[in-house]
Chain A
């Protein structure tokens, strides 16, 4: 607070109270998180055709970004040997490609492609609307808004701000995850292959993971458990492992025709 400004027109009696408010500013990570949500919200508001979907887009992208590393690092459960085989696919892959579909009362409201490479870099593409590239090794995320040809690069979190980064603290989510996988009696056929289901509950979601007899994951179905009322929302991910992926997909450099918003660049981060 500008002390001189304060003391000119503010009785001493209130200064301690004002200083108490100013002494508790929002954390950097909290402000970063709010800023990201703001940009996504503005994008959704300005694009009528995607108006109803974009809110889900951000939520689902965040969910996918949290869920994938969670699955990759999920600690041992009581599901037996077969589920351990399933987990191994999520830790040993060269690349992982997934098609994510979110439906509400059986109507598709979002489709997204998710690709992960061996370095755990993630790319999310929501049709022609937007793409995110998340590089956990450099703690950076690139957002591309295709219709307006704009890009935004931002740090995933600030050093020293881990305690405040509740909403994006993947590591904490992973460490605290205590999943219990239960093998279901029912089976289903996915892509011509017999699939066996495992039921898990974590992070406010009921999840069913379908895998082949050898443990290769084929599909993950998720329903949120913390939304009020009958919402009929389901998210489905269909997996494909070790498909060759172009390195350029994970580049943090925006395409040449895109305008970079803000002053933060990958070079800034390296400095």
Chain B
């Protein structure tokens, strides 16, 4: 798990220059973390690549004004937010394109008592795309990326208490969504 990567708890390491951030150094230090964060949420390497690049391009175009305590947390939060938006867009697309396409694109989403890892992962991602965005972001940062409550709070500009409450709501919402997904037919899900 990347929690143990050497750069995880490193202090702010960015060399400020006249022109701004040392984006190259950020990319070398945290590019893989950003890609992995996006991949965990989307489960799609190509989408994760796009998100990874967009995170850093956005950083070039609109660097943060406030001091960043943990760049890893900050960048992973950006990637997770973008990845959840991708999930939600996917859900919206399925609703618009109707039952047939949704069933075709999710052939494994059948009710079964012996779900394998692949189906479980897909089910959780589908559920993540259907709960409020902020809850999904908190959940992914906590349980996919392993961030502490304080790190999530910092990345989301809120308090640890608020994160804790949001996480509890996220867990309950996900449990509900997953039970719905696993008991309904694919047609009903679309």
Contacts and interface: CB of A to CB of B under 8 A. Distances in A.
Interface of A: 1-2, 5-6, 9-11, 13-14, 16-26, 30-31, 33-35, 37-39, 41-42, 45-46, 148, 150, 152, 261-262
B16 interface: no
Contacts of A22: 1, 40, 144
B146 A13 contact: no
B171 interface: yes
A42 B27 contact: yes
A16 B120 contact: yes
A35 to B, nearest CB: 5
Contacts of B178: 14, 17
Contacts of B36: 25-26, 31
Given A17-B123, A22-B1, A262-B28, 10 more contacts: A9-B167, A11-B175, A14-B143, A17-B174, A23-B121, A24-B43, A31-B36, A34-B52, A46-B23, A152-B28
Contacts of A31: 32, 35-36
Q: Which 9 A-B pairs have the closest CB atoms?
A: A20-B120, A17-B124, A20-B117, A20-B121, A26-B39, A21-B121, A34-B49, A41-B53, A34-B35
Interface in B41-68: 43, 45, 48-49, 52-53, 56-57, 60
28 contacts: A1-B146, A2-B3, A6-B143, A10-B171, A14-B143, A16-B120, A17-B124, A20-B117, A21-B120, A21-B125, A23-B117, A24-B117, A25-B36, A25-B39, A26-B35, A31-B32, A33-B49, A34-B32, A35-B35, A37-B53, A39-B24, A39-B28, A41-B56, A42-B24, A42-B57, A42-B60, A45-B60, A150-B24
